[in-house]
């Protein structure tokens, strides 16, 4: 009874859609998947939006739909986060065209394969640039602007950044780096009494086309809707939650793993035995 009441309190919905009406938002990785869905939700709430990704034609399509959904303003700027010069360039474009910024939504992710690590250190280095270093670059550029607006950084992370997962060693290393850096940043902002908030979103498996294509033959977990994941991210950022989980029960997945870490060893041992057979 107590656990149920505590759970209901922790995950109560305090989001007010009016809190993002007219808000100035930059969304990375917004040409498809979760980023695309976030753009649509922000548009419905009447936000002012800049979206970025590498694929220009896909960005144009998202912009057109956002206009129909009610965005006060919507623009796109192509950007490749593997290029160290692009994060700051993209951010500068958004601030100049929106007249400031209220929400920086860091959602982009680099390409990876689902496989046992093959020893390719160069791939790890390049993935770090996209999945981690570019996040840091954009955050660094954003802080002076967000201090003025009292704005927020929303960091889209993964369960793989909480649980060291086989077959995705390069990817999971970038997510652990992301969670560690932005978690430490939250503490530093508290020490400085900054009015900037940082929200870290821990996502489970989401049913984006890219994710579904990657995990074929590797995973039987349930995938959850990208649109719902996108909305949960927006709500967590708008209500300035430090850390949020989608689906919500992955909070307990991480908690149980921390209390009983040997459970994972048992699972991996059974998988190893199956492979030998």
- C-alpha–C-alpha distance, residues 196 and 104, integer Å: 11
Give the residue among 139, 217, 215 at the shortest CA–CA distance from 178.
139
For the beta sheet containing 197-203, the strands, ordered from the edge strand earlier in sequence to the opposite edge, are 73-78, 48-53, 24-28, 103-106, 152-158, 197-203, 243-246
The answer to whether 40 is a known catalytic residue is no
Q: What are the structure tokens assigned to 31, written together?
A: 């040409």
Are the C-beta atoms of 174 and 167 separated by less than 8 Å?
A: no
86 alpha-carbon distance from chain centroid = 19
Set 93, 171, 245, 246: catalytic member? 171
Are the C-beta atoms of 48 and 75 separated by less than 8 Å?
A: no
SS3 of 70, please? Answer: coil
- C-alpha–C-alpha distance, residues 69 and 76, integer Å: 16
DSSP single-letter state for residue 29: S
Residues labelled as active-site residues: 171
């Amino acid at each position: 009874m107590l656990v149920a009441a505590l759970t209901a309190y922790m995950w109560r919905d305090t989001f007010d859609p009016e809190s993002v009406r007219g808000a100035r938002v930059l969304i990375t990785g917004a040409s498809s998947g979760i980023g695309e869905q976030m753009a649509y939700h922000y548009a419905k709430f009447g936000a002012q939006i800049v979206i970025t990704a590498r694929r220009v034609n896909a960005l144009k399509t998202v912009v057109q739909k956002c206009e129909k959904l009610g965005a006060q303003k919507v623009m796109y700027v192509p950007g490749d986060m593997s290029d160290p010069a692009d994060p700051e360039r993209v951010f500068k474009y958004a601030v100049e065209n929106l007249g400031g910024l209220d929400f920086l939504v860091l959602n982009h992710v680099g390409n990876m394969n689902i496989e046992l690590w093959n020893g390719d250190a160069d791939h790890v280095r390049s993935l770090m640039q996209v999945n981690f270093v570019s996040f840091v670059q954009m955050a660094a550029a954003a802080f002076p602007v967000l201090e003025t607006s009292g704005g927020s950084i929303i960091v889209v992370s993964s369960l793989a950044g909480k649980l060291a997962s086989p077959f995705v060693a390069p990817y999971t290393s970038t997510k652990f780096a992301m969670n560690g850096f932005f978690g430490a940043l939250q503490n530093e902002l508290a020490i400085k009494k900054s009015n900037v908030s940082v929200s870290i979103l821990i996502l489970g498996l989401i049913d984006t086309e890219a994710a579904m294509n990657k995990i074929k033959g590797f995973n039987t977990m349930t995938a959850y809707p990208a649109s719902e994941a996108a909305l949960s991210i927006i709500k967590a950022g708008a209500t300035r939650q430090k850390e949020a989980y989608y689906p919500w029960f992955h909070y307990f997945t991480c908690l149980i793993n921390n209390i009983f870490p040997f459970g994972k060893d048992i699972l991996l041992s059974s998988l190893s035995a199956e492979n030998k057979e």
